């Protein structure tokens, strides 16, 4: 073979090997909202938590139904009322090759609640807990009072490496210098607003990642996201706009996946003030707040045609709700079904309450937070007007809405009388909405932080507090279900529906829908 031939041969070989990366499996995912940081402890926010699962692991992981599964901990159990033991996985290596030990867990407990400038800190899950190293692969976590939600809390914040995380700032994670975890993917590149790139971690301890390289692209505009999928620019999109779902179902290039979420859309009513600012008699004069009468609250609930909202407003991308969380979640009550639409019974209840002539009220809601939020508020208003409660609608951007709804009134009390809100149970069980929405507002003990109706019922409070101190799962489940039943019977809130989330992937790919609304590369299968 002449040298020229060899050269030529080598060249052909080289070009063949250059061409083969076509076999490499790359994936591009379009996100509706992008993570605000690569630092897994900077901002306790949906997109950040979703993205962090690629690079980092948690002690406890959650599956697509938010059930707890083993993560970096292989087992956990309460040793006594106030101590939990977590056995750590052995032979796990960080992306830089250093081994994972109890020291990394201890370091994470120090770092996560203390990230400077954090707009929403992970201290929520870490405060009140002290962690001790028992041996290299065992930690003990102590609390002052019995704390059954320990495994749930351990599923919320990722474990970072002590070696690369010590002294690292949020910027160091964003640049990739400190973005070293134990997760199924490794960090490659982060260009804010443009893309985040990750690549497979071949040394992962669990199921190896399916994709060689994954690129996340933030595409905020719904129609553009759909167009990018149809044009083949991206392989998977999240948050498909409800108006496009019907069309995409008939599109041969696209595969949809839908799943119920942990988010309930509900109405909160003013249980507190004797004269509520947005409730008036029909002639505009002041009246005693009728929402304090459980019959009136029940009338409102019965006047709402949940089927119509699900069918017409939500275009069938929702499931009507009868409690705080859909069935299948821990602590929900098996007895509660969505209330049937019954306008005549509603009218009768109003008459019984001495309000045969009805009254007038304003419903306030956001217009850019939940799927079709403003339209739902309008539908509710029409339904209530039909039974004699003259309802005006006022919606506003969430940047304005939530402040006013939470503390826009005098003395930082809630401003509105009747509001539309949603609640996603981050912990994946019923204590989350019960604690924040139903329990009496109690600043010193951290209860009722989102109880914007200021509902208060000592009996239910006790059930919730008992549940939060009961480590026995079966007993706790019963307490939570009981509290939910009582709250619904008293119409503490009026549940409307559970949001259903929709993902779309190009033909041949499938996304495993998650109740926590996360979009992760691990959920994309062929």
Partner 1 sequence: MTAFVIRRLLQSAVVVFVMSLIVFFGVNVVGDPVDMLINPEADQEDIERAIRALGLDRPIGEQYFYFVKGALSGDFGRSFIFGEPALKLVLQRMPATFELAFTALVMAIVFGIPLGLYAGLRPNALSSKTIMAGSILGFSLPTFWVGLMLIMVFAVMLGWLPATGRGEVATFLGISSSLFTLDGLSHIILPAFNLALLKISLVIRLTRAGTREAIYQDYIKFARAKGLSENRIIFVHLLKNILIPVVTVLGLEFGNLVAFSVVTETIFAWPGMGKLLIDSIQQLDRPVIVAYLIVIVLLFVLINLIVDVLYSVLDPRVRIGESQT
List residues binding partner 1 (CB under 8 A): 36-37, 39, 42-45, 116-121, 123-124, 127, 170-171, 174, 191-195, 217-221, 223-224, 227-228, 230-233, 368, 397-403, 406, 423-424, 426-427, 432, 436, 443, 446-447, 449-450
Judged by CB, which is closer to partner 1: 107, or 401? 401
| Calculated CA dihedral for residues 151, 154, 155, 159, nearest 10 degrees | -150
**CB of 167 vs partner 1, minimal distance in Å:** 16
At 350, phi and psi to the nearest 5? -65, -40
Judged by CB, which is closer to partner 1: 147, or 423? 423
Closest CA to 95 of 216, 215, 209, 210: 209
**CB of 368 vs partner 1, minimal distance in Å:** 7
Judged by CB, which is closer to partner 1: 185, or 447? 447
Judged by CB, which is closer to partner 1: 2, or 444? 444
At 75, phi and psi to the nearest 5? -160, 160
Report the half-sphere exposure of 389 (CA within 13 A, side-chain side): 31
- Tokens representing 129 are 């807990």
**CB of 227 vs partner 1, minimal distance in Å:** 4
Closest CA to 277 of 289, 266, 265: 289
CA distance linking residue 436 with residue 266, whole number of Å: 14
Closest CA to 513 of 254, 324, 255: 255
CA distance linking residue 422 with residue 295, whole number of Å: 24
Q: Which residues contact 283 (CB under 8 A, 6 or more apart)?
A: none
Judged by CB, which is closer to partner 1: 244, or 270? 244
**CB of 174 vs partner 1, minimal distance in Å:** 7
Please state the length of the chain. Answer: 526
Closest CA to 500 of 311, 229, 236: 311
**CB of 371 vs partner 1, minimal distance in Å:** 17
**CB of 92 vs partner 1, minimal distance in Å:** 28
Judged by CB, which is closer to partner 1: 44, or 201? 44
Closest CA to 295 of 354, 357, 382: 354
**CB of 375 vs partner 1, minimal distance in Å:** 19
Judged by CB, which is closer to partner 1: 196, or 296? 196
**CB of 224 vs partner 1, minimal distance in Å:** 5
**CB of 423 vs partner 1, minimal distance in Å:** 7
Task: Report the 3 state secondary structure along 471-490.
Answer: CCHHHHHHHHHHHHHHHHHC
Judged by CB, which is closer to partner 1: 145, or 288? 145
Judged by CB, which is closer to partner 1: 30, or 379? 30
Q: What is the DSSP string of 72-133?
A: SEEEEEEEETTEEEEEEPSS-B-TTSPBP-HHHHHHHHHHGGG-TT-SB-THHHHTTEEEEE
Report the half-sphere exposure of 365 (CA within 13 A, side-chain side): 26
Judged by CB, which is closer to partner 1: 39, or 293? 39
CA distance linking residue 157 with residue 49, whole number of Å: 8
Instruction: Identify whether the C-beta of residue 372 lies closer than 8 Å to the C-beta of residue 314.
Output: yes
The count of other CB atoms within 10 Å of the CB of residue 297 is 23
Judged by CB, which is closer to partner 1: 337, or 400? 400
Q: What is the DSSP string of 431-484?
A: HHHIIIIISPPBTTTTB-TT-TT----HHHHHHHHHHTT---HHHHHHHHHHHH
CA distance linking residue 226 with residue 231, whole number of Å: 9
Instruction: Identify whether the C-beta of residue 100 lies closer than 8 Å to the C-beta of residue 87.
Output: no
**CB of 218 vs partner 1, minimal distance in Å:** 7
**CB of 65 vs partner 1, minimal distance in Å:** 19
Judged by CB, which is closer to partner 1: 135, or 171? 171
């Amino acid at each position: 073979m002449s040298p020229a031939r060899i050269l030529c041969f080598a060249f052909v070989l080289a070009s063949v090997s250059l061409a083969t990366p076509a076999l490499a499996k790359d994936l591009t995912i379009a996100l509706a909202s992008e993570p605000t940081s690569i630092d897994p402890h900077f901002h306790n926010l949906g997109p950040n938590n979703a993205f962090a699962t690629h690079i980092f692991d948690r002690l406890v992981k959650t599956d697509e139904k938010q059930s707890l599964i083993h993560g970096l901990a292989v087992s956990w159990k309460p040793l006594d009322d106030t101590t939990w033991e977590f056995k750590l996985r052995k032979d796990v290596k960080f992306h830089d090759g250093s081994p994972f030990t109890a020291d990394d867990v201890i370091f994470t407990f120090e770092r996560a609640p203390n990230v400077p400038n954090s707009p929403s800190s992970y201290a929520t899950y870490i405060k009140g807990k002290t962690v001790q190293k028992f041996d290299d692969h065992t930690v003990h976590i102590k609390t002052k009072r019995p704390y059954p939600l320990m495994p749930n809390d351990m599923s919320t914040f990722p474990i970072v490496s002590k070696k690369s995380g010590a002294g690292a700032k949020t910027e160091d994670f964003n640049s990739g210098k400190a973005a070293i975890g134990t997760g199924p993917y490794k960090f490659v590149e982060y260009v804010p607003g443009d893309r985040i790139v990750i690549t497979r971690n071949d040394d992962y301890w669990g199921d190896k990642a399916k994709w060689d390289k994954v690129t996340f692209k933030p595409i905020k505009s719904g129609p553009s996201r759909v167009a990018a999928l149809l044009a083949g620019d991206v392989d998977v999109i999240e948050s498909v706009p409800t108006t496009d779902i019907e069309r995409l179902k008939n599109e041969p290039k696209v595969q949809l996946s839908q799943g119920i979420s942990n988010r309930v859309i509900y109405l909160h009513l003013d249980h507190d003030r004797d004269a509520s600012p947005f409730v008036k008699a029909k002639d505009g004069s002041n009246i005693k707040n009728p929402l304090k009468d459980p019959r009136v609250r029940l009338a409102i609930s019965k006047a709402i045609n949940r089927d119509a909202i699900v069918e017409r407003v939500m275009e069938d991308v929702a499931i009507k709700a009868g409690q705080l969380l859909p069935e299948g979640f821990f602590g929900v009550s098996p007895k509660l079904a969505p209330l049937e639409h019954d306008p005549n019974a509603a009218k009768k209840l109003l008459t019984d309450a001495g309000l045969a002539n009805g009254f007038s009220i304003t419903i306030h809601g956001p217009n850019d937070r939940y799927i079709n939020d403003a339209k739902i508020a309008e539908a509710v208003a029409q339904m209530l007007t039909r039974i004699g409660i003259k309802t005006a609608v006022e919606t506003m951007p969430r940047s304005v809405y939530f402040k006013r709804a939470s503390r826009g009134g005098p003395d930082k009390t809630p401003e509105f009388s009747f509001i539309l809100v949603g609640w996603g149970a981050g912990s994946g069980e019923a204590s989350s909405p019960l604690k924040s929405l139903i329990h009496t507002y109690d600043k010193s003990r951290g209860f009722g932080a989102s109880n914007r109706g200021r509902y208060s019922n000592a009996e239910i409070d006790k059930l919730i507090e008992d549940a939060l101190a009961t480590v026995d799962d079966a007993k706790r489940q019963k307490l939570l279900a009981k509290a939910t039943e009582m709250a619904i019977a008293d119409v503490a809130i009026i549940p409307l529906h559970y949001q259903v989330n929709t993902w779309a992937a190009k033909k041949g790919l499938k996304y495993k829908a998650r109740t926590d609304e996360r979009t992760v590369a691990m959920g994309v299968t062929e």
